[in-house]
Amino acid sequence: MTQGTECEHGLHHQLTAGRMAMVAIGSTIGTGLLLGSGAAVHIAGPAVILTYVVAAFLAWVVTNALSEMSSAHPAAGSFGVYAERYLNPWAGFVASYGYWYGVVLSIGAELVAASTYCKYWFPTVPGIVWTVIYASALLFINFLDVGDYGQFEYWFAMVKVVTIVVFILAGAWLLLGGKIAPQYRVHGGFFPHGWSAALLAVSFPLFSFFGIEVVAISSGEARAKKEIARASRIMFVLLAFVYIGATAILVGVLPWSRAGVGESPFVTVFVVAGVPAAPMLMNFVVLTAALSGSNAALYSASRILFSLARNGWAPPAFGRLNKKGSPRLALLASAIGVPMALLTERYMTQSAFLYFIGASLFGGMLAWCAALAAHISFRRRTSPEELAVLPFRALGGAWMSGLGFAGIVLAVGSTWWVPQSRITVISAVPYLVLPTVAYWVVGRRWRSAAVSQ
pLDDT digits (tens, 9 = 90+) for 414-427: 888 877 678 888 88
User: Which of the residue ranges 84-88, 185-189, 328-332, 405-409 would you say has the lowest mean pLDDT?
Assistant: 185-189
Question: Given this model, what pLDDT does residue 156 score?
Answer: 82
Task: Catalogue all structural domains in the chain, each as residue range(s) with its CATH number.
Answer: 4-452 (1.20.1740.10)
Query: Alpha-carbon torsion 268, 270, 276, 279, what sign?
Result: negative
pLDDT at 246 over 80: yes
Question: Given this model, what pLDDT does residue 83 score?
Answer: 95
pLDDT at 337 over 80: no
Question: Given this model, what pLDDT does residue 61 score?
Answer: 96
State the chain's mean pLDDT as an integer. 84
Question: Given this model, what pLDDT does residue 1 score?
Answer: 41
Most confident of 12-16, 106-110, 138-142, 405-409: 405-409
Where residue 51 falls among pLDDT bands split at 50, 70, 90?
A: very high
* pTM for this predicted structure: 0.88
pLDDT per residue over 357-398, tens digit each? 677 788 889 999 999 999 999 999 999 999 999 988 999 999
